[in-house]
Each structure stands twice: as structure tokens, then as C-alpha cells.
Structure 1
Amino acid sequence: MALSSMTGFARSHGAYGAYTFEWELRSVNAKGFDLRLRLPSGFDAIEAPVRKSAAERLARGTVYANLTVKRADAAPVIRVNEEVLGSVMQVAAALSAKLKAPPPTVDGILAIKGVLEVSEPDETDDERSAAEAAVLAAFGTALAGLIEMRHREGASLQAILSARLDEIAVLAKRADTAPGRQPEAIKARLAEQIATLLEASERFDADRLHQEALMIATRADIREELDRIGSHVAQARELIGKGGAVGRRLDFLAQEFNREVNTTCSKSNDVELTNIGLELKTVVEQFREQVQNLE
């Protein structure tokens, strides 16, 4: 299964009977899945199946779905609201008598809100159901287009993430083979630090000196951090190869990478190791930024 980005865009058009319609879908990054749906009046019945279809095929991202519907070749039906008209005429007659004013004109009466009602032509239940089915089919087409674009973006992200993992592995190997990691260099640094301790105080007993030496040696050893970085690289490669909605798990690994690299930098007392650690921090941050785009 391929990786999928959370960003994408798609449109689909359709027509049925007197209806023409268009779906526009746009998705952006998000921690979870959220469908922001905008439907025209009269199409509320399709909301539930649209949400169900999107939730079944998308795991993460905020998706903005907008439906536009037009009804062509259908003249609107104009009706006179007899109740409103009767009330208006009664008031008009009373005012005309009271004010000795001329009676209202027809166009003036019709301009009063509520006297005329404009509505769409009636349609049968079967016609309406068929139109809604056509709109849902068009949504399926748009959703497929959105998923295809997210997969294309995911393929690009896969190449970038794989390259970043290769860089992390190379830098970790450089750190492991750096001259500052060799036993002779570590021994020399220990001897220097112990000498500094002895100069600071002549009261160190043998046991205390041994404990201090062990603590210094432990702080200088980054073997455990390098092993964990190697393990995280292997896990990340496995997840990328597996594909699917692995963005959350890769984001967790990116945090673990960052933790190990920070510890490596804090333990380093060698210029070359420090520089390698800083390079690792840069690459890990680039990896994390790209992971934020994955589903």
C-alpha cells in the first residue's frame, strides 16, 4: 500500500434531468479526520452517505467538500398567497377610506413581501431520488480523484523521507566511527578529566575516584543512543514500505529520533561528534516536517 499525503484537490461535474451539479473537494493537514461539508438547500438527504463514504476511505486530514447545484430548463412556479393578499387588501381598503387616498395599484400590492411565492417546479419522489443518486456518484468520482492526488503527493513524500533516513543512517555511522569515539581518545579524555578532579581536590579516595571515572565514562558513551537511532531508522523504513495511514507512527518516531540526537549532542565532548550531532538534528527536523504531511 502506498503512502498518502493529507493535501489534495479534486473536482467532478455531473447532470441529471434538469439538474447540473459540481463537487469541489480540498484537503489539508490535520491531526485527525474532519469533513467540512457545504450542501445547497434541499440536498440534506445526501449528507449521511457522503460522510460515510469519505470516512471509509480517508483516515486523516480536514476535507472541505462543496456542492453546487443548478436546475436548468425549468421555469419557476409563481403562486399568489391568498391569505396574505386578503389581509393586505383589508388593510389597504381601511387606509384608503381613512386617509381618502386612492386604492393601491396591482403592481404595488404584488411588490409586498409574501403576496407572491416563487418555488421550483414539483418533481416526483423517483425523480428526486435519481437526482440524489447521480450527485452521490459524482461525489464518489471527486473523492477518487482526491485520493489519487494524495497518493501522488505521498509517493513524492516517500522518496524524500527515504532520502532523509539514508542521511540519518550515514551520519550515525560517521558518529560511531569518529576518532573521538575510539577507546584511546576516550581514555585520554578520562585521564585529563580525572587529573582535573585531582587538582581541584586532594581529598578524593580511591572508591570516590573510581565512581567519578565511571560516571564520566558513562556520560561519554553514546553507544546506546546510536543503537536506538539505528533501530528507529529500521522501523521507519518498514513503516514507509508498508504504506497506508502511518503518519502518526512516523511522527512518533521523529520525536524519538530527536530525543536520541539531543542526548548524543549533550554527551559529546568532541568537536567532530558535536558537528555530526548538529547535522543529525537538522536532518531529523527535515524528516519530521515532511512526516506532518502524511496521512
Structure 2
Amino acid sequence: MIQSMTAFAREASQGDWGTLTWEIRSVNHRYLEPHFKLPENLREIEPNLREGLRKHLNRGKVECALRWQPAEQTGQGFDLNIELVEDINQAANQVNRILDNPAHLNALELLQWPGVMKTAQVDAAPLKKAALDAFDLALKNLVDTRTREGEQLKPLFDQRLDATSAIVNQVREKLPAILSAQRENILARFEDAKLELDAARVEQEMVMLAQKTDVAEELDRLDAHVKEVRSVLNKKGAIGRRLDFLMQELNREANTLSSKSIVTDTTKAAVELKVLIEQMREQVQNIE
């Protein structure tokens, strides 16, 4: 089953303690790389958040940001930590006396200092529970979005896999005619050179040509890889790495087909295959 690594989810929750708002963004990444931005009084729930994330996601860079706005009616206004402000100002003055070009702190910088703006104590238990519940909902929405994005990619793969199989079949059907035409070319070169036709020599040339241009194995492997890609696309769980490996194998066979080409038609077919494979590979980079 295809699941994209690109998605966004937002979930808000309200209560006596105020408003909690989660925003989760995910983009493609080789591994699962979560980042959390939490209010100071909710940092201790991060291990629970990470555990929940690992249960639902396997890959992707995931940024999770939580904002808490205390409710005004509960008196959860901000208080200024005067003692901390005085300590910061005193320390800044000591440093400025050492510096050649001192820069004084302004009020906005002080207000942004951790701990300067403090809130009245609230009951932490319901706030933490609400944050965890809201996160679960946001994460579910994120997974649903990634799934919908993945479902939209399925027809794109089907189209390109069908086109790949069609090209492989065309090359396979043309191989006898290609070898026959090359046999005629060899005979014509002998005649043009006014050389006595030696049946053994002609057969030797044909054997060498057949060995050089034998792409039956490459065509069979291309068919096998296409079949495996179709199978992987219908599997559950993380499939991106497996698909990436299969794209490499498909590209390897297309390159070999190109190197063994002796006619324009085969060369063109190999180029078309590589274009299709590259289009699929670009999509695979965003699949979990």
C-alpha cells in the first residue's frame, strides 16, 4: 500500500486550561526523524509523543509544534519574573564592561528570555492528557492524509509500468527481425568487398553478433522487476526502500539494453525505458 511522506495536520483542543493547538508537518526522509517544539510545562510528555509517532510512522522528517494559550477567565495571565530580569540585566552589564562595543539589552529581548514571562500554576494532569489526546487526533489526520496522497500515486505507477511492459514486449518481438537484417548486412558486406562467401565465416560472424546483441536475459529481468514492483505496491507497511532498490535494478537493465543495441529502434526503446524509470524513481523518493 502506497503512503506518501508529505502531509500536514492541525488539531485544536479547548478546556478550562485554555487552548492547545497542534501542527504536524512531514516531508520525505530516509529514516524517521521527529522534531518537537513544546511549551516548557509540557516537555515531559515528549517521550510519550515519540512512542506514539513510531507506532504509526516508519519514515519521514516530522515536525510537531504545540502552542498553548491559557484561558483568560481562569486568571492564567502572564507574570513578570522581576528577580530574573534584574539578574539578567546585572550579568549583561558585567559583560558590557568587558566588551569594546557593548550592546545593551532591550525590553523585547528580555521578555523573550526563558522564565522571564511566567504563568500561574495550573493543574498539569488534565493539560497533559488533553495535549496527548489532541496529538493522537492530529497524528491520525496526518496518517490519513499521507494515505490519500499515496493512493493518488498508484495510477501513475500503473501507467508507467504498463508502458514499460509494452516496450519490453516490442523489443522482444523485433529481435528475430533485427538479427535477420544484420545477417543480410553481413552478406552484403562480403559481396561489396568481392570476397568469396565462406559459410563457416558467415556463421561465425552471426554467432558473434548474436552473443553481442543477446538481450533476452535483460528483457526477462525487466519483466520480473516490473512484476515485483506491482507486488510491492500492494503490500502493507513501509515499501519505499524496496521500491527504490527495484528502480535501481530496472535502470541497470535498461542501461545494459542500451549498450547492446545495434539498431536505432532498440536504442530508442532503451531511452524511453530510462525516462519511465526515472519518472517512477522521482515518485518513489516520497513514498514511506
Q: TM-score range by the shorter chain?
A: 0.7 to 0.9
Structure 1 residues 161 and 272: CA distance shift in structure 2, 3 A? same
Contact 2:12-2:20 within 8 A present in 1 as well = yes
| The one of 119, 140, 152 aligned to 1:144 | 140
Alignment of 1:65 with 2:34, yes or no, is: no
Structure 1 residues 42 and 189: CA distance shift in structure 2, 3 A? same
Displacement, 1:129? 1.4
Cα-to-partner distance string for 1:106-134 (whole Å, 9 max, x where unaligned): xxxxxxx9xxx8632233xxx20111010
- Paired position in structure 2 for 1:291: 284
- Paired position in structure 1 for 2:166: 170
Cα-to-partner distance string for 1:174-205 (whole Å, 9 max, x where unaligned): 11112xx11x54144256459869999x9xxx
Q: Amino acid of the residue matched to residue 69 of structure 1?
A: W
Structure 1 residues 193 and 40: CA distance shift in structure 2, 3 A? farther
Alignment of 1:266 with 2:259, yes or no, is: yes
Distance 1:13 1:185 in 2: 67
Displacement, 1:72? 2.0
Distance 2:240 2:81 in 1: 57
- Paired position in structure 1 for 2:32: 33
The aligned runs of 1:139-218 (5 Å cut-off) are 139-178=135-174, 181-182=175-176, 185-190=178-183, 192=185, 213-218=206-211
Q: Amino acid of the residue matched to residue 223 of structure 1?
A: A
- Paired position in structure 1 for 2:94: none
Identity %: 36
TM-score (norm 1): 0.77
Q: How many residues align?
A: 254
Structure 1 residues 176 and 40: CA distance shift in structure 2, 3 A? same
Distance 1:167 1:79 in 2: 68
- CA-atom RMSD, angstroms? 2.9
3-state SS of 1:43 partner: helix
Contact 1:190-1:217 within 8 A present in 2 as well = no
3-state SS of 1:42 partner: helix
Alignment of 1:52 with 2:51, yes or no, is: yes
- Paired position in structure 1 for 2:127: 131
Distance 1:294 1:72 in 2: 41
Structure 1 residues 78 and 28: CA distance shift in structure 2, 3 A? closer
- Paired position in structure 2 for 1:250: 243
TM-score (norm 2): 0.79
Distance 1:257 1:79 in 2: 64
Distance 1:275 1:172 in 2: 12
Structure 1: 5+ residue runs without aligned partners?
89-112
Structure 1 residues 41 and 174: CA distance shift in structure 2, 3 A? same
- Paired position in structure 2 for 1:240: 233
Contact 1:194-1:213 within 8 A present in 2 as well = no
Alignment of 1:230 with 2:223, yes or no, is: yes
Displacement, 1:270? 1.3
Displacement, 1:282? 1.0
3-state SS of 2:242 partner: helix
Distance 2:280 2:128 in 1: 44
- Paired position in structure 2 for 1:9: 8
